[in-house]
Structures are given as structure tokens and as C-alpha cells.
Amino acid sequence: MQSSKSQSKRRDGLVAVFIGATSGIGLGTLKQFAKQSSSPQIYIAGCSESAAASILKELESLNPKGTYVFQETEITLLKNVDKVCEEIKSKEEKVDLLFMSPAYITLGERNDTIEGIDISYALTYYTRLRFTYNLLPLLNASSAPRVISILGGGLESEIDLQDLEIRNNFKAQKAMKYSTTQTTLAFEELANSNPSITFIHKYPGFVNTGAIGRFLGSQKGLFAKPATFFKWFLLPIVNLMAVSVDEAGERGLFLATSARYPPRNPTSGGVEATVLPKGAEVAEDIEGSGVYILGPSDDSKRFTPALAALRLQGASKIVWECTLSVFDRAVGASG
Ligand SMILES: NC(=O)c1ccc[n+]([C@@H]2O[C@H](COP(=O)([O-])OP(=O)(O)OC[C@H]3O[C@@H](n4cnc5c(N)ncnc54)[C@H](OP(=O)(O)O)[C@@H]3O)[C@@H](O)[C@H]2O)c1
Ligand SMILES: *[C@@H]1O[C@H](CO)[C@@H](O)[C@H](O)[C@H]1NC(C)=O
Ligand SMILES: *[C@@H]1O[C@H](CO)[C@@H](O)[C@H](O)[C@H]1NC(C)=O
């Protein structure tokens, strides 16, 4: 059977794990992935079981041959991330796709979980990397594995390697910068020791998840008139520049499956699994690493000056070691 693997054969039985897919880009990609794969096995981890019920129903109707499992848990706690991963490991021999986009917008001060990690920082970095780390053996077992984080690829900036946990002057916005920069550096480190895995860090640009329209529609009293005016006359123009959730989902699916993004060392069977369309080229990664930093139109970004400076300081190793020590402390703390 080995030699007769056709594209549709290989797609049969893809296993995917989605984190933060109850709305936005994650949900858009989840639906596309379910629709386009022949009989996927999909795990969705998130905290709202109520949203889950309608999503599961929709997935069933998009593709009745798929199997969908919603794991309801507070994913800001690494202890819970471990439980979800243990369950996946007990049921699956491989994972082909790990797609991560959870985030929570706050302008507030630090708000730690019992594990001592700020909630917004956990969602954009620690939770995502814990899933990645835990699932490495299963990803390794796939013939064309991919890890995708939707965050801020290309927007890496200077960070204090002495204070990666942001104990000084914490701001949610600063945590976003640190998450973005550390994601790229950690992916480089992981790609080094796991060369058969493709790593993608993507900045989606402005995606119209509908939140602004709903917010404006809910305005009452004094603000109702200007809000209505904005909603009906100006928002459509603003949204012209934005990408819809459906389109973001189609792009997400492309990143998850296209042969444009091979890992450093493709496993045999992995390369022919997805075929490049005529005239298309393999995307540029960071120096042959299998790590792709992509902007809003999937344009490859490689040389942010801050990143270049951080590399000279050996930042990927420092970042990854610090991340592992946060993992140990957190999981130890929540015992
Ligand atoms: N949309 C854009 O224009 C844009 C622009 C630039 C960058 N980005 C980045 O792209 C990523 C995805 O954005 P998006 O717009 O698709 O996000 P979104 O629609 O806000 O979705 C965020 C996901 O995170 C989950 N989440 C939020 N708080 C949580 C918590 N405390 N515990 C567990 N899960 C939680 C949400 O679950 P619930 O459904 O349960 O709330 C949802 O599934 C984010 O990292 C964002 O920063 C987005
Ligand atoms: C901190 O997070 C918890 C859990 O989400 C929330 O209930 C609480 O209101 C937050 N506190 C602050 C100060 O934002
Ligand atoms: C994944 O496979 C590589 C060899 O390709 C190996 O060096 C690495 O240790 C494996 N990683 C895990 C977590 O099993």
C-alpha cells in the first residue's frame, strides 16, 4: 500500500488539533479543514461547551465522515493542557496539524492564574508552546506534520532576555510583543531538533470577526445615531480592507496543507503528499529551518532587525530554556 499513496488516500484519516477555534480565524480554518478532508479526526480544546455544541453540529453537517471531539477545559492552565494532550496521546498514533489561535484582548494589568502565568500571556504563548511541546512525539509520527500559530509573525521586536516572564512593568500589550518574538525564536529552536515538522508563525492582518459591528449595533442613547451611521456607511468601507472570517479560514487551510511549506527534512511520503500547483514555488523560510514567518498576504518575513540582533545573542536557546523552566514551575505548582 505504501507506494500507492495518492493525495486523497493520504488525506484520509488526518488528525488535527485546534486550540482557540470557537471563534474567529481558528473557527474559520476548522470549518474549512473539516469540509475539505475526507475523514478527519479533529480535536478542539476550548472553554465554552455552549459554543461547542453548535460548532460540533455544523462540523457534522459539513462532513459527516469526520470525527469531532470537543475537550472543554480552562486552557490557560498548563496542567489542563497536559490532560488534553494525554487524552489525545491515548487515542492517536500521530498528529498531522496543530493549529493555534487563542487570545483574549485586555488592556489590563497582570492577572495571574494559580500557576503564576498571566492569562493573556498564557493564551498567546505558554499554552500554545505547551501544546506544541507535548505533541512533538505525535507530530514526529506524521508524514507531513505542521504547527501553526496565528499571532504576529514579522512583528518581532526587542525583548529583555533577562525578564522574559515580564515581572517588571507588565502590560498586556508588552506581553503580546513578547509572545510574538518568543514564538518565532522558540519555533526555530524546536525546528532544530524536530526537522520533519513545519512551523508557521503567521500575522493575519485585520480580520473582520464581526465584533465591531456587533459592538456598534449594541450602542444606545446618545451614541446610537453616530454608531448606526458608522455601522451602515463607514464600517463597510473599513471592512473592504479587512479579510472575512471565511477567507481567513481558506488561508488557514492553505497554510495547513500546501506544499509551499515543507519542513527542513521532509520524511519520505511527506513531500509527494501535497503537490505544488504548476508555477508555484516553495515559500522562503528562515535559512532552511522549516520555520516560516508570514505576513497578512502570506508574504515571507525573515529579517526584522530586532530578530537579527536577538539571534546574535543566542536568544532562541535562552527563550526555550526559560519557557521550559516556566513549564516546570507551573505544572509543579498546580501539582
Ligand atoms: N482578528 C484580527 O484582526 C487579528 C489581527 C492581528 C492579530 N490577530 C491574532 O490572531 C489570533 C486569532 O485572532 P482571532 O481574531 O481569530 O481571535 P478571536 O476571534 O478573539 O478568538 C479567540 C479564541 O480564543 C479563545 N479564548 C479567549 N479567551 C479565552 C480563555 N480565557 N480561555 C480559553 N480560550 C479563550 C476564544 O474562545 P471563546 O469563543 O470561548 O471566547 C476563541 O476561540 C490572536 O492571537 C490575535 O491576536 C488577530
Ligand atoms: C482575572 O481573571 C479572572 C479569571 O478570568 C477574572 O474573573 C477576574 O475578573 C480578572 N481580574 C482582573 C483584575 O482583571
Ligand atoms: C523527532 O524526531 C527527530 C528525528 O527526526 C528526533 O531527533 C527528535 O528527538 C524527535 N522528537 C521527539 C519529541 O520525539
Helix axes 315-334, 127-140, angle to 10 degrees: 100
Q: Based on the fold, state whether residues 97 and 222 are members of the same structural domain.
A: no
| CA 111 to ligand 2 centroid distance, Å | 6
Q: Strand, helix or coil at 283? A: coil
Q: Cell numbers at residue 183, please?
A: 514564538
> Looking at the structure, do residues 31 and 88 belong to the same domain, yes or no?
yes
Domain final position from 219, 242, 265: 242
Query: Which grid cell sits at 314?
Result: 543566542
Query: Is the distance from the beta carbon of residue 140 to the nearest atom of ligand 3 less than 6 Å?
Result: yes
Q: Which domain holds residue 97?
A: 4-207+245-333
Of the residues 199, 226, 242, the one at which a domain ends: 242
Nearest bound ligand to the CA of residue 72: 1
Residues 104 and 237 in one domain: no
218 shares a domain with 72:
no
Q: What is the pTM of this model?
A: 0.90
CATH number for the domain including 290? 3.40.50.720
Domain count, the chain: 2
In short, whether 112's Cβ falls inside 6 Å of ligand 2 is: no
Q: Which of 242, 263, 289 is the last residue of a domain?
A: 242
- Residues making up the chain, counted from first to last: 335
pLDDT by residue, tens only, the chain of 335 residues: 333 333 333 345 899 999 999 999 999 999 999 999 989 999 999 987 788 999 999 999 999 999 999 999 999 999 999 999 999 999 999 999 999 999 987 777 899 999 999 999 999 999 999 999 999 999 999 999 999 999 999 999 999 999 999 999 999 999 999 999 999 999 999 999 999 999 999 999 888 776 666 666 666 666 676 777 667 766 666 666 678 889 999 999 999 999 999 999 988 765 545 667 777 789 999 888 999 999 999 999 887 899 999 999 999 999 999 999 999 999 986 55
Specify whether 196 is located in the same domain as 218.
no
User: How many angstroms from the chain centroid is the CA of residue 76?
Assistant: 15
